[in-house]
């Protein structure tokens, strides 16, 4: 069994901007686990534990989905609090494109592959505890329009995630080119 998810890898330039924002997040009164720079990605679907046979079938399904889409121009911007401002569990950045193709890709993954599909986002940190909610929300509002940059999505990946005390270790199991 392998723990898997479907994602978009992001270029180093975007990771650099994201890492800079993560450094600033350390200054607000929250207890959180930042996503390591090498693990920064855009989540499309969390698949959970798959057998080897299920993983192989999933790879084929992802290939079918990706053939239906051409490259997507995406922008990583705008701070997002998940699930809500009243219950802060994840701080993330939204991911947009001008023509809605990224959401269409996400919808097609949900229909064809399944898994726990959320709107595309880039996780900055997972929050364990909020020390002063009013102060946290006030500081986070400053980054509501944060822009980590734009890039072309030309492929999606199926990742293996191994959890350890040092945090997750990711490995690309399969790459599917768009178009």
Give catalytic residue positions: 41, 121
Q: Are strands 87-97 and 72-84 parallel, antiparallel or unpaired?
A: antiparallel
Q: Which residues of 21-48 are buried (b: 16+ CB within 10 A; e: fewer)?
A: bbeebeebebebebbeeebbbbbbbebe
List the Cα angle 115/40/106 in 5-degree steps: 35
The whole-angstrom separation of Cα 65 and Cα 62 is 5
The whole-angstrom separation of Cα 53 and Cα 105 is 24
Alpha-carbon torsion, ordered 163, 176, 95, 101, to 10 deg: -150
């Amino acid at each position: 069994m392998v723990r898997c998810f479907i994602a978009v890898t992001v270029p180093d330039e975007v990771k650099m901007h994201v890492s800079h924002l993560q450094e600033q997040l350390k200054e607000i009164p929250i207890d959180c686990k930042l996503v390591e720079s090498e693990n920064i990605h855009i989540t499309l679907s969390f698949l959970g534990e798959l057998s080897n046979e299920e993983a192989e079938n999933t790879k084929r399904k992802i290939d079918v989905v990706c053939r239906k889409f051409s490259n997507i121009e995406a922008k990583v911007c705008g701070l997002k609090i998940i699930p809500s401002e009243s219950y802060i569990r994840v701080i993330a950045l939204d991911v947009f494109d001008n023509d809605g193709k990224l959401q269409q890709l996400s919808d097609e993954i949900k229909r064809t592959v399944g898994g726990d599909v959320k709107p595309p986002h880039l996780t900055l940190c997972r929050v364990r505890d909020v020390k002063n909610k009013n102060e946290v929300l006030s500081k986070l509002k400053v980054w509501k329009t944060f822009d980590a940059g734009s890039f072309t999505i030309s492929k999606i990946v199926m990742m293996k995630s191994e959890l350890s005390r040092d945090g997750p270790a990711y490995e690309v199991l399969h790459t599917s080119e768009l178009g």
